[in-house]
Amino acid sequence: MNRFKTSKFKNTSPKIAKKDEWINNVRAGSFSCQGNHIKASSKLVAFNTEQAGGGMLGLSSVKPGPDGQWAVTQISCHSDLVTDMDFSPFDESLLATCSADETVKLWRLCDPELEQPSGPELTLQPGQGRLELVVFHPTSSGLLAVSTTKSPLIWDTSRQDAPLAVLEQHSDQLQSLSWKQDGSLLASSCKDKMLRVFDPRAQLTPVQSAKSLQSNKDSRILWAKDDLLLTTGFDMMRSREVRLWDSRKLSSSVSTVSLGTSSGTLIPLFDDDTGLLILAGMGDTVVDCFEVSASEPLLSQVSHCLTDTSTRGVATVPKLALDVMSCEVMHVLQLTDSCIVPISYQVPRKNSGQEFHADLYPDTVGTTPAMSAEEWWQGGNKQVEKVSLQPDKRPKSKAPPANKTPAKKEPASGVSKEDPARGCSTSSSPLSTPSSSSAAPSRSPSSTSGLSSGFLPSPSPSQSAKTIQSLLGPTSKFRHIQGAVMHRDTHITNIRGLNLTTPGESDGFCVNRQRVAVPLAISGGQIGIFERSQPGRLPDTAFPTIQNSVNVSDLCWDPFDTQRLAVAGDDAKIRVWQVPEGGLKETLTEPDLIMQGHLEKIYSIKFHPVASGLLVSSSYDFTVRLWNLESGEQVKLLTGHEDQVFGMAWSPDGKLLATVCKDGKVRIYDPRKSTSPVQEGPGPEGHRGARVVWVCEGKYLLVSGFDSRSERVLYLYSADSLSSGAVASTSVDVSPSTLIPFYDPDTSVVILTGKGDTRVHIYEMVPETPYFVDCSSFNSPEPHKGLAFLPKTECNVRDVEIAVGLMLTKTTIEPVAFRVPRVKKEFFQDDVYPNTAVCWEPALTASAWLSGFNSQHRKISLKPKDMTPVSEAPKEAPVRKYLPSSVYLEEKTDEQKKDELLSAMVAKLGNMDDPLPQESFEGVDEDEWDD
């Protein structure tokens, strides 16, 4: 638009959809990440939700279903917050997501009312920490720009083991990325106030850079027309501003518009065909529209739209999905806390709705990629072929042949297509295209291989499943596990004087089926005993406790006696207390048993899982000692540790004892045969703390510890060959507290969290690659001091609970249930609940075990008598989800409408023959009217 020529878009006006056209049932959270929180293809809409700590995405459709309503579903994408997402410009069903769990995943989505794929088509693991941004290349298939906290990476998805290029690291938080429309350059904005323009194929350093931004607050960058760059951010006075830059000279902007003071990030959306720019501030109720021109004025405002609710994110729908007959030039989707609001930008024209106005719709880029990622990397600059938006000239989508078979089978050729009857895309995916035999030169650390061909349609759904399985490994039935704090009526509250200084080797508190033991920061090493059957608020006055006489370093309930509590103290003694039936009525001062033998402070004790009356302890004297509670004596002294023992764990059969030590070693002992370790291997590199637990039927050891960079890492060791080192490992996050693992042998699910954490990590352990299967995590509303778990019998199988724990906070004890979402809850989920061991009954006495006898717990079924196993449930015929369209389209005659209206009015008025209410009133005598 300029002063001599009027723009055809100057009167473009926003039209907010009516409320019955909003997409409801949306739970959008407020997350700290660099993405726009919502993205749309011509068919689907994906958005961030607050569920599962932000690891789930919501999914809906651009257009309503057959019933006129929008279906909304959720997909569990990552084990941590989804920080950004982007739809492929060449495949309306292909979505890329990146996350704080350090992975990029590509998903082939179906219509939201249908079942979504159980896993991604592809997973990239850069291994460089939290990922912030992901952007598809505008002209090449299978090419992504991915951003870590400080570095942009260029990935060819057909060569997934390493990026094509790792661009120069930024000096601070990278805030935004944008490809130029022709795909040649990549621009970035950063918290260090720098704008950078990269030519990834020419050099890893910027070809243009300048310290141009006024503030280090959140900024965004986009390529506008030709060589113009557009940024949004804040000036030195904290006012939001929009600036245009010549990408060839970034030292000064060519145009600036100030939009007033507000703290929300300004999200820009630009349409290259019309030059229209949408600006929406996070948390604002305003959406502005500007026009960007190549001549003065470069930025001119077109409209100012006030919305009903504040913005959580904003996206535009691709041009091919516009209602061109209504002169719609942009279609914006505003994400709010509870809904998605469509906003249509239309140019007022005569005969709107009847004619196609070609001057408003120049040919736009199509959906066929111009080249493959490899062709682009080798220097190709082909552009995507443009298509007309005129309805009768649009290209027809071609369906693939029904029996098309791939010309070449490769295990890493991507993931096969879904059954077309399920509403998933069956066309050959443009995620990657076949590459030539000569590999392109790469700047990645090593030569790459992997996905060398495109994603080809598979002959059958069964083979598709096999291809997915071979590429991604086993999928988990627990990947959508949900943690939830139980009702407040089950909480124990008003706990005062909690001891927060127990050693890191201690769990901090302990629980059993009947009661909870919590160390208190009261002189004399007092321990609070709280009955689970008596939840509620504790009195403000003093209550009975156990007086241990010295500070508590660790404590543990006897698994076979809910009244016996073992307590390790600072004085190197172990005291065994007997809690009366029904709980403490008075303070206990005399223990039943005192055991002494360690030369230094004890910091960890564990009961034997199979034999009664056996206890193992570790101390700062670098020894591990085995005690017989029947005789009150030490029976074994295990040596070989050269430093502090971080953790101990009995094998499931009770034969072996594993330890992890500060000297960097993992050891396995057979206490009845030798006081020295029978196996020894390298442990975690870090020395901040570690824990160990047996998994996968005792075939593996899981060790949670720290690496050399102080990141929390899980290591998996084969119990038969510790000396070979870890067979697998996975980084978790960065935090100072040691992850404390709980392992459920029935489901092979391990639940981990640390003292002071708010997040509970969940994995399914499998005895084959990939060993660790990510599941949804649970986030507590405030940092917890510990999480201890109850026996399996405390799980409510009717709600498909696989684990129930008690979470200790500063003042409360709150039950947390971990449930597996299932549809047919009326049936017993026998695939989730195999027979469980009766771990609350001893299988041996201490003397029998010490004599060399072995035994196992008996097993019982958790199935209630009135429930039928889901494996025996009757097979149901598929039910039609929607009524036929004839039900909705049936027209009523005027007479039918008139009769219905009259009937409704008569029913509301009542029967005319009924007496009036006043006729039942009593009158007065005549003499009562006299004065």
DSSP 330-373: EEEEEE-SS-EEEEEEE---TTTTTS--GGG---EE-SS-SEEH
Which residue stretches of 411-503 are H helix? 461-472
Q: What is the 3-state secondary structure (H, E, C) of 513-578?
A: CCEEEEEECCCCCEEEEEECCCCEECCCCCCCEEECCCCEEEEEEECCEEEEEEEEECCCEEEEEE
Position 886 confidence tier, pLDDT thresholds 50, 70, 90: low
Quote the pLDDT of residue 913.
Answer: 63
pLDDT: is 791 or 393 the higher one?
791
pLDDT: is 472 or 292 the higher one?
292
Quote the pLDDT of residue 842.
Answer: 93
Mean pLDDT computed over every residue of the chain: 84
In this predicted structure, the answer to whether residue 2 has a pLDDT above a threshold of 60 is no
Query: Which value, to the nearest 10 degrees, does the dihedral of the CA atoms of residues 199, 205, 208, 210 take?
Result: 150
Q: What is the mean pLDDT of residues 608-633?
A: 93
Question: What is the b/e burial string over 762-773, where b = at least 16 CB atoms within 10 angstroms of the residue's CB?
Answer: bbbbbeeeebbb
Q: How far is it, in rounded angstroms, from Cα 267 to Cα 237?
A: 19
pLDDT in tens, 682-698: 999 888 899 999 999 99
pLDDT in tens, 892-920: 677 888 888 888 887 777 665 666 666 66
pLDDT in tens, 347-377: 988 877 778 888 888 999 999 999 999 999 9
In this predicted structure, the answer to whether residue 891 has a pLDDT above a threshold of 80 is no
pLDDT in tens, 560-581: 999 999 999 989 999 999 999 9
Position 794 confidence tier, pLDDT thresholds 50, 70, 90: very high
The conformation of residue 276, written as its DSSP 8-state character, comes to E
Position 4 confidence tier, pLDDT thresholds 50, 70, 90: low
Position 424 confidence tier, pLDDT thresholds 50, 70, 90: low
Quote the pLDDT of residue 194.
Answer: 87
657, 669 contact by CB (below 8 A) = yes
Question: What is the b/e burial string over 243-279, where b = at least 16 CB atoms within 10 angstroms of the residue's CB?
Answer: bbbebeebeebebebebeebeebbbbbbbbbbbbbbb
Mean pLDDT comparison of 21-25, 436-440, 455-459, highest-scoring range: 21-25
pLDDT above 70 covers a percentage of the chain that reads 86
pLDDT in tens, 709-764: 888 999 999 999 998 899 999 999 888 889 999 999 999 999 999 998 889 999 99
- Does the pTM of the predicted model rise above 0.75? no
Instruction: Look at residue 896 and give its three-state secondary structure.
Output: helix
Quote the pLDDT of residue 929.
Answer: 60
Position 20 confidence tier, pLDDT thresholds 50, 70, 90: confident
pLDDT in tens, 90-122: 999 999 999 988 899 999 998 888 888 888 888
Q: How far is it, in rounded angstroms, from Cα 514 to Cα 302?
A: 68
Dihedral sign for Cα 8, 10, 11, 14, please: positive
Q: What is the mean pLDDT of residues 264-273?
A: 90
Quote the pLDDT of residue 910.
Answer: 63
- Please enumerate, as own/partner, the contacts of 898-901 that have beta carbons within 8 Å and a separation of 24 or more: none
In this predicted structure, the answer to whether residue 793 has a pLDDT above a threshold of 70 is yes
Please state which of the ranges 363-372, 387-396, 476-485, 667-676 shows the lowest mean pLDDT.
Answer: 387-396
Mean pLDDT comparison of 302-306, 390-394, 817-821, highest-scoring range: 817-821
Quote the pLDDT of residue 396.
Answer: 59
Quote the pLDDT of residue 889.
Answer: 56
Q: In degrees rounded to 5, what are phi and psi of residue 211?
A: -85, 90
Quote the pLDDT of residue 678.
Answer: 94
Position 453 confidence tier, pLDDT thresholds 50, 70, 90: very low
Q: What is the mean pLDDT of residues 234-246?
A: 86
Q: How far is it, in rounded angstroms, from Cα 552 to Cα 568?
A: 6
pLDDT in tens, 478-522: 888 999 999 999 999 999 888 887 888 888 899 999 999 999 988
In this predicted structure, the answer to whether residue 457 has a pLDDT above a threshold of 50 is no
Q: In degrees rounded to 5, what are phi and psi of residue 75?
A: -125, 130
The conformation of residue 115, written as its DSSP 8-state character, comes to P
Cβ burial of 446 (10 Å; 0-12, 13-18, 19+) is: exposed
Quote the pLDDT of residue 426.
Answer: 42
27, 68 contact by CB (below 8 A) = no
Q: What is the mean pLDDT of residues 448-467?
A: 41
Q: What is the mean pLDDT of residues 59-63?
A: 91
CA distances from 12 to 3, 8, 347, 478, 637 (A): 18, 8, 5, 50, 84
Q: What is the mean pLDDT of residues 426-439?
A: 40
pLDDT: is 413 or 812 the higher one?
812
Quote the pLDDT of residue 823.
Answer: 86
User: DSSP string covering 66-95, please?
Assistant: TTS----EEEE--SS-EEEEEEETTEEEEE
Angle at 895 between CA 893 and CA 901, to 5 degrees: 105
Quote the pLDDT of residue 351.
Answer: 75
In this predicted structure, the answer to whether residue 540 has a pLDDT above a threshold of 80 is yes
Dihedral sign for Cα 598, 602, 604, 608, please: positive
Written as six digits, the tokens of 289 are 């529209």
Q: What is the mean pLDDT of residues 395-411?
A: 41
Quote the pLDDT of residue 881.
Answer: 53
Q: How far is it, in rounded angstroms, from Cα 568 to Cα 548?
A: 9
